[in-house]
Structure 1
Amino acid sequence: MSDSNATNSQTSDSTRENASESSLEDDVLVKKAKGGDEKAYKKLVDKYERALYFHILKMVKDREQVEDLVQEAFVKAFDNLNTYSTNYAFSTWLYRIATNNTIDYLRKKKLKTLSIDKPKKTRDGEMQMQLPDDSASTDRDIIKKQRKEIVQNAIEKLPEKYRKVIQLRHMEEKSYKEISDILDKPLGTVKAHIFRARELLYKALKDKRGRF
């Protein structure tokens, strides 16, 4: 075997060994996280947060929205740790959750931005979209109002430090930097509090998903 082939073989073996060690480390951290070890949660976030950010950034160009999507991915992953199987790499499972969550976000965004007033081009020229005038829209308004009330009630029950950051972020649409300045707290602390607040909200609203 040539020196070049030997070097490539050693590099490949080293890469596989490092990947295996990383997976074993993840398995240990996941097991601890399932037991409620918050340090294990933090280590998993620290390990994958940056990589996940750039993964989602390929699909969504709004960097601040990407930060939100990264946090949502971790919240969903941690809330569903009991479904994770060590037969698969934790990183693969986490990336799949992040990807699906981002696709859902993009799909909803596309639906919201689709204009119903803009004329549509057809072979016969332009035509205006006609919407049926029935009670369905009224029902949707009622459901939307109920949904908003459910979410607001859940937010009101959060501990004050979490309630404040969620209200500033989602009700007043402040940036992370603006929230940091308003509350006079480090940016890292603000992000951690928003992450924890979302996690608590996700759990509180879990049993009410049928009404969303």
Structure 2
Amino acid sequence: MQQREGGMEPGPRAVVSPGQDAPRMNAPWPVADERALVRRCQAGERGARRELVVRHERAVFALLSRLTGAGPHVEDLAQETFLRAFAALDGFDPEGPARLSTWLLTIATRLGLDARKRRVLPTDPLEPGLTVADGDDPEQQTERARLGRAIAAAAAQLGDDQRAAFLLLDLHGLSVAEVAHATGVPENTVKQRAFRAREKLRSLLGALRPGALS
């Protein structure tokens, strides 16, 4: 990659690594902070790109592993996600309607779905379907982990399109419009896919805690 102000950018294999210091993907991040980080990256500030990766790698890895299944290909797809994002980052408007996190998940979704179409990938999830929150007590953590594993295993039985709609809407919190943009289909199609995915998951899982798939 090219030399930028503030030093050499990391090479392809150094862009992202699923380290333990990555923040929980369910921890909200203020929009103002996200926009400021984009501007720092665009200005070539030293370390800004690495900060962007650390901030978003957990969500990208989780989405790709749930979408394509566990395996070494997940790291390759995550690497490609961030490399494509960096290549297009100068054209990203931090003040625009799209959030950086949504944009990254859109890139990851398209790469993951394309990988599924090009070759057979495993469908076993790399991580539990739900992230354990730091504030949960041990009993809540155990129950949440159990529920997460059950949802992840059931989601692996969905078709690619339904799985993507469910993951992006219900586990990653994107809006219907954002999922439609990420997957390249009309909003009504996203709603139909998500509805069918939830119905199938309910039939596979039986009774879940109230609101788990609402």
Bigger relative contact order, structure 1 or 2 (CA pairs below 8 A, ≥6 apart): 2
* Largest Rg, 1 or 2: 1
| Greater percentage in helix | 1
Q: Same fold (TM over 0.5)?
A: no
Using structure 1 for the length normalisation, give the TM-score. Answer: 0.40
